[in-house]
Amino acid sequence: MRLTHRRSQHRGRPAAVVATGAVAALVLAGCATAGSDDDADSEGGGDGPVSLRYQSLAFQEPTIQASQEIVDAWNADNPDVQVEYVQGSWDSVQDQLVTQFQGGTAPDVIQYESAAMTQFAEQGYLADLSGSLSEEVTSAVPEGVLDAVTVDDQVIAAPTLLQSYVVFANRGLLEEAGVEVPEGETWSWDEFQAAAAATTGGDTFGVGWGLAEPTATMLSLGMNFDATYFEGTGEDVTIDVGEEELALPERIHAMAYDDRSLDPVSITQSGSDVMTGFLKGKYAMTVQGSYQAQALTESAPADLDWVAMPLLEADSAAQAANPQTLSVAAESPHVEEAAAFIDYFMQADNLAKVAEGDWLIPASSDAAEVVSTDTEGANGWSTILAGGQYLTKAPFQSATNYPQWKDQIATPAFQRYLADEIDADQLATELTEGWESVSGG
């Protein structure tokens, strides 16, 4: 009986095998159909319109929408040059571009940031845009920002958006401590530290500062104290960690461990983590990227009266300009058309729309004016936009081995110093000897 039953099962099995095979064949055929679409849309060669791929890293929804509107408007006005919008991600773009450049399949128009694109430019992957961008566009970009996208006298990208470091403050906590919100474009570090000390008490710290990844902050805001760290360009770069370079780390250290006006726990957290504490009233002030004004506008409780303070200033209010960029792949068969699209993207109205979506500073002064008019300077925009004039190229942006030094040497060294594990002299030694080891000196 059982044998008979099994035999009948076995007779059915070949049919099951055939059915499984058929499913596999169908699924693969489905994949293959999707794959064959490539042939139709990849090149846009021949007599048809030129087809460009534009990989955007737009993240905020209004920015994505603005970017797509710009592409749609371009496509409507330029039937012979059609741009395809491809959505990329900040989180993975580095790996993606490394592979695509080596494989020869990079998008025609690439959004990224100047520090990373400088490295790609040095390997010859980016087209020279000198002369391709209109005078109207380039003249509206500050020289220091344009320097950040210039490699060996070639403009390797159009700078689009920038961020600066901004102090956001809880107006209620400042007033309770008798600290007046300063007027004017800049605010001195001494006053900032005094305000932090005045607002510290009970469960409240004067400042929460997310410095889990401290290197970029130290090198950028360090420019307030004339810190340069590096001299030279490319492979031929030397480091000097002196009084100016140590000024910012020492001030932060003193705030955390001497007058305890800066929460030492926040130093180990990310900016977003610290923002949670600020929203809950744990910190009277927090130092953040300017884009965090958006989170404050959208998520701050109704009873939190927040304000963006004037830019911090010591010897100057300078900060490093590491703009987001638009570049053209050198291997693109349509460099000229791709550059024309970037020039269109950089028009004041277009760039302003994207900047407003991301709450970042437009690299073009014309676009900044449009943003200023649109927003009327509300929700921190006046401070954010004022920061644009102080952003300039920093020496570290010309150092080929900077990314390696940052990850392997500087970040752990700054972390240990800010955790009070080593002193300032040891920090200077580690940063200097670490540079010599990664640069082969």
Partner 1 sequence: MSVGTVTTRARVGQYAALLAYVAFLGFPLLWLVATAFKSTQEIALGASGFLPEAPTLQNFGDAIRRADLVEAGWNSLRVAVASTILTTALAMPAAYGLARFKTFLRPVTLGWVLVSQVFPTILIIVPLFLILKQFDLVNNLVGLTIVYVVFTLPFALWMLIGFVANIPRELEEAAAVDGAGRLRILVSIVFPLLRPGVVATALFAFIAAWNEFLFALVLIQDPAKVTLPLTLSRFVGAEGQVQLGALAAASLLATIPSLIFFGLIQGRLTSGLLSGAVKG
The contact set with partner 1 (CB under 8 A) reads 6, 9-10, 13-14, 17, 20-21, 23-24, 27-28, 30-32, 34-35, 37-38, 41-42, 53, 57, 59-61, 64, 84-87, 89-92, 95-96, 98-100, 102-105, 107, 113, 163, 270-272, 275-277, 279-280, 289, 291, 295, 298-299, 301
27 vs 421, beta carbon nearer partner 1: 27
User: Is the CB of residue 155 less than 8 Å from the CB of residue 146?
Assistant: yes
CA 344, 159, 309, 214 dihedral sign is: positive
Min dist CB 55 to partner 1, Å, is 8
12 vs 48, beta carbon nearer partner 1: 12
Min dist CB 280 to partner 1, Å, is 6
Query: Which one, of 159, 160, 163, lies nearest residue 289 by Cα?
Result: 163
Min dist CB 30 to partner 1, Å, is 5
Min dist CB 273 to partner 1, Å, is 9
Distance CA 177, CA 199 (A): 5
280 vs 420, beta carbon nearer partner 1: 280
277 vs 388, beta carbon nearer partner 1: 277
92 vs 183, beta carbon nearer partner 1: 92
Nearest 5°: the CA angle 76, 77, 78 is 95
CA 225, 290, 98, 117 dihedral sign is: negative
Query: Which one, of 270, 220, 212, lies nearest residue 245 by Cα?
Result: 220
Min dist CB 85 to partner 1, Å, is 8
Q: Strand 165-170 to strand 283-289: parallel, antiparallel, or no bridges (unpaired)?
A: antiparallel
177 vs 300, beta carbon nearer partner 1: 300
Min dist CB 422 to partner 1, Å, is 26
107 vs 206, beta carbon nearer partner 1: 107
User: Is the CB of residue 328 less than 8 Å from the CB of residue 341?
Assistant: no
Residue 6 CA from chain centroid, whole number: 65
